[in-house]
Structure 1
Amino acid sequence: MTITKHYKNLKLVVEDSLLKSIYQSSCGHYPKEYGGFLIGKYSDDFKTLYIEQSITAEVFKSSRIEFTRESNYLKSEFKKLFIDKRLYYIGEWHTHPDGEAWYSSTDLSAMINIKKDQGVSISNPILLILSITNDSLKDFNFFVLNNNRLELYE
């Protein structure tokens, strides 16, 4: 099943199976936060964003209320994805165990820092937050960074 969300005149498209896969990859880390990277592409007119896959973080620090990942070790993998499939880094995802699928001030700061990073060539990164419990995916929300604010895809 395909999930479609909207923000102004932009459309975000993701397969339900990808969300389930992201949730399943985070179950082993519960009750700590866990996360990774969103990989995708835009349509030729830049009005539709297709989230095609995710990469889980391998180097990270995690607690019940915080997730910090490293990404430098993935530069060659990101380059290979672009060369082979024309897919590229479009944002981040992480879980909020037993919490809401809403961003914190820490999440906002992290996304602003990603936008400022010279090694990242994306001006409006996406953030996916998944609210999980010990046995289910409770909720999820996609946000886009716009004018240093995270705005909800609905």
Structure 2
Amino acid sequence: MTKHYKNLKLVVEDSLLESIYQSSCVHYPKEYGGFLIGKYSNDFKTLYIEQSITAEIFKSSRVEFTRESNYLKSEFEKLFINKGLYYVGEWHTHPDGEAWYSSTDLSAMISIAREKNVKIDNPILLILSITSDSLKDFNFFILNNERLELYE
């Protein structure tokens, strides 16, 4: 699957989206999420999201998901050293809701971009709308000038 935002192309395998959805099902009807891992092309015009890491330390409810990431520092370092992959963003579900971001989601993404240890100006956000038995919809967003903008 390929999506576009201005002059930046986003490439994600359907199998990765399916894997993310499947990992979310066991947490339904609560929100669940994780990290998007990938790399940019040499010209920085294409972002390849190649894998996901699910959160292991988190708090969730039907309308909120908060994850911890500090415990993954060594795993992120290994991915970069061994595969040239790095953290590019976040994903989480909206059970029985829309695949659209909330003001809380926007604030979280702004905080991530401002975090000195993250070193990413334009993190990606994937929101999946799930029901008890299906992936209803999903959207990718990119943080640009403290706004989340839709990949189409």
- Please state which band the TM-score falls in when normalised by the shorter chain: over 0.9
The one-letter amino acid paired with 1:41 is K
What is the 5 A alignment of 1:67-106?
67-106=65-104
> Residue type matched to 1:133 in 2?
T
Matches within 5 A, 1:1-154: 3-154=1-152
**RMSD (CA atoms):** 0.2
Q: Scaled by the length of structure 2, what TM-score is found?
A: 1.00
**Paired residue secondary structure (1:121):** coil
Q: What stretches of structure 1 move > 3 A for 4+ residues in a row?
A: none
- Structure 1: unaligned runs, 5 residues or longer: none
- Deviation by residue 1:94-153 (Cα, 9 ceiling, x = unmatched): 000000000000000000000011110110000000000000000000000000000000
- When the two structures are superposed, what TM-score results if normalisation uses the length of structure 1? 0.98
Query: What SS class does the counterpart of residue 95 from structure 1 fall into?
Result: strand
Structure 2 residue identity aligned to 1:111:
M
- Structure 1: distance between partners of 2:12 and 2:143: 18
Structure 2: which 5+ runs fail to align? none
SS in 2 for 1:115: helix
Distance in structure 2 (CA, Å) of the matches to 1:113 and 1:56 = 20
CA positional deviation for 1:29: 0.2
One-letter amino acid of the structure 2 residue matched with residue 5 of structure 1: K
Q: Matched residue of 2:77: which SS? A: helix
Deviation at 1:43, TM superposition (A): 0.2
CA distance in 2, matches of 1:114, 1:93: 13
**Counterparts of 2:5 and 2:114, CA distance in 1:** 22
Secondary structure of the structure 2 residue equivalent to 1:75: helix
Percent of residue pairs bearing the same amino acid type: 86
Aligned length: 152
